[in-house]
Structure 1
Amino acid sequence: MAEPIAALAIIVDIAIGWPAALYAKVGHPVGGFARLIGWAETRWNRAVSSSATRRAAGVLTIALVIAVAAGGAWLLAELAQIALGHAAWIAIGLMAAPGLAIRSLYDHVVPIARALQGADLETARARVAMIVGRDVATLDEAGVARAAIESLAESVCDGVVAPLFWLLVAGVPGLWAYKAINTADSLIGHREDRWRAFGWAAARTDDIANLIPARISGALLCIAAGGGWRTMLRDASKHASPNAGWPEAAMAGALDLRLAGPIAYDGLVADKPYIGDGRVDVSVVDLNDALGIYRRACILLLFIAGAIAWLL
């Protein structure tokens, strides 16, 4: 049953995503997870506590947010089953769709490409600042395009493939549990002193949850691009994350680019290694090519989910 649910969720997300009017009125489920995590962090992550105590509090936080996400999704799915019977899969597919970010990711990256095409670097910087954490004020066209491509590639995993993977493995509770884990990692899974101990469980859980999806994401991008395998297999481990390097290296190889490299955060330059051994002069043409690969990868996922649903 998970396969037709996945196919419907993909179609709904591609078609309408999470409309801005709906977001303005009710927010997004991920926002609820963020508020719960913020509540726990404020109360349990006390500077006066020992590292062991803060780490235990972080474990409790990630367990709580997973329980709320998975439990709530399970309850809604059960209610749909009781109310709708055999048609419940349609309602469950609609519940799953907001857990994907196919349309949202595309809608965030396309305006960056349009701004670069129009030689509006300030708008391009402002747009890319919405999806990356690095300093953008001094980025030139190549820097903006590189940042957008890297974010697009990495988000193939946590915005598309991983939610679908966990939907297929554990149903809609698995999808929303993953979204809760990923949200926790983005909020508290950092190495700064404030979060190092408290966010440890969130970061490690996210690493585990993305272990298989990240490698699937890299392979999917290589298939969609018709290349990139050698770079992916060689350079994936150069990324600080055990998972993010797979789709990023796949995209670097597919486009014959060098991605990553030295990046500034809060005025300090992190001397990161380059991923890929291609060109460094990244342009809006490369960004548009990356969007094309992304579109083909998403269509491929839809065909895979549909084919499995039809065969089963």
Structure 2
Amino acid sequence: MAEPTALPALALDAMFGWPAWLYARIGHPVGVFAWVIGRCETRWNRPGRSDAARRALGLVTVILLAGGTALAGFVLEAIIGRVAGAAAWPLVAVVAWPALAQRSLNDHFLPVLTALEHDDLAAARQAVSMIVGRDTVALDRAGVSRAAIESLAESFCDGIVAPLFWLLVAGLPGIWTYKAVNTADSLIGHPEEATRAFGWAAARSDDVLNLLPARLSALLICLAAGRGWRVCWRDHGKHASPNAGWPEAAMAGALRIGLAGPVSYDGHLQNKPWIGEGEPAGPVVMRRSRIIYLRACGLLWLIAGACAWRA
């Protein structure tokens, strides 16, 4: 059932995203994941516990979250199949749609670009602070541009390629289990002392689930740009993440710019290595990165269409 659902799910996401009016009324499904993770963290990630205990309880959190999500997805898919029969795939597509983020990513990227094109650096910093975790108050134009482009490249994997990949592999259980684990990684999978042990299982699980999608993302970005292969292969390992470096290095090579580099988090400067090299980032480069992103999404549509035709 997964094969014919991928293309309509992509189409629904491209047309509607997750509408603000709907979010205002019912929130977003990942909010359920965040609630479960928050309750587990509050109860189990206590400073008085040893790292070993917190690591074990973090693993239990991931197992409960992923297992419960997979079971719910399996049951829901079975119910839809039983009720709708051969016409089940449109309903499955509707349920899968909120897990994709093509339109959302574009809608968060554009305000940063528009503000920079209007020379409103303060507005650009505010807009980019909504999509990155680094300190943005002191970023210059190039820094804001790099942050937005890095988010665009990394989120192309996390928000589109990986969910679609797991939808095609395992249907509703696959796409929503991925979103559950990815949400856990974003909330507790950090190296800081407070979450390092408890979030270890979430971070490692997310690494495993993104292993193939990250490399597919890099391939699609390079194909969409017609270049970037050399920098992607050379620099992907410079990122702290075993996966995020692939789409970021691909985008850096495609745009012929440097990404990453020194960046500040909570007032502490981290001397991250540069990925790629070339001209400074700016609005013109951001426009090019958006074109590459849209082309890469188009390639995903072709893949989803081919899977639907084959089914």
Q: Per the shorter chain, which TM-score range?
A: over 0.9
What TM-score comes out, normalization by structure 2 length?
0.99
Q: Secondary structure at the match of 1:127?
A: helix
Overall identity of the aligned pairs, in %: 59
* Cα distance in 2 between the residues matched to 1:122 and 1:277: 26
Q: Secondary structure at the match of 1:135?
A: coil
Q: Secondary structure at the match of 2:62?
A: helix
> 1:115-147 deviations in whole A, cap 9, x for unaligned?
111111111110100000011001111111110
Instruction: Name whichever of 68-77 and 128-137 sits farther off.
Output: 68-77
**CA drift at 1:186:** 0.5
Q: Secondary structure at the match of 1:285?
A: helix
Pairing 1:302–2:298 present: no
Q: Secondary structure at the match of 2:18?
A: coil
> 1:87-112 deviations in whole A, cap 9, x for unaligned?
11110011111011111101000111
> 1:210-255 deviations in whole A, cap 9, x for unaligned?
0110000000000011110000000000000000000000000000
Q: Secondary structure at the match of 1:233?
A: helix
**CA drift at 1:75:** 1.7
Q: 2:248 is matched with which residue?
A: 248
**CA drift at 1:295:** 0.5
**CA drift at 1:4:** 1.2
Q: 1:9 is matched with which residue?
A: 9
**CA drift at 1:50:** 1.2
Q: 2:163 is matched with which residue?
A: 163
> 1:246-271 deviations in whole A, cap 9, x for unaligned?
00000000000000000011111100
Q: 1:179 is matched with which residue?
A: 179
What TM-score comes out, normalization by structure 1 length?
0.98
**CA drift at 1:311:** 2.8
* Runs of 4 or more consecutive aligned structure 1 residues displaced over 6 Å after TM superposition: none
Instruction: Name whichever of 67-76 and 301-310 sits farther off.
Output: 67-76
Q: 2:270 is matched with which residue?
A: 270
**CA drift at 1:200:** 0.6
How many residue pairs end up in the alignment? Answer: 311
Matched to 1:299, the amino acid is: G
Matched to 1:156, the amino acid is: F
Question: What does 1:166-245 align with in structure 2 at a 5 Å threshold?
Answer: 166-245=166-245
Q: 2:132 is matched with which residue?
A: 132
Question: What does 1:82-121 align with in structure 2 at a 5 Å threshold?
Answer: 82-121=82-121
Matched to 1:224, the amino acid is: A
Gapped regions of structure 2 (runs ≥ 5) = none
* Cα distance in 2 between the residues matched to 1:193 and 1:307: 46
Q: Secondary structure at the match of 1:137?
A: coil
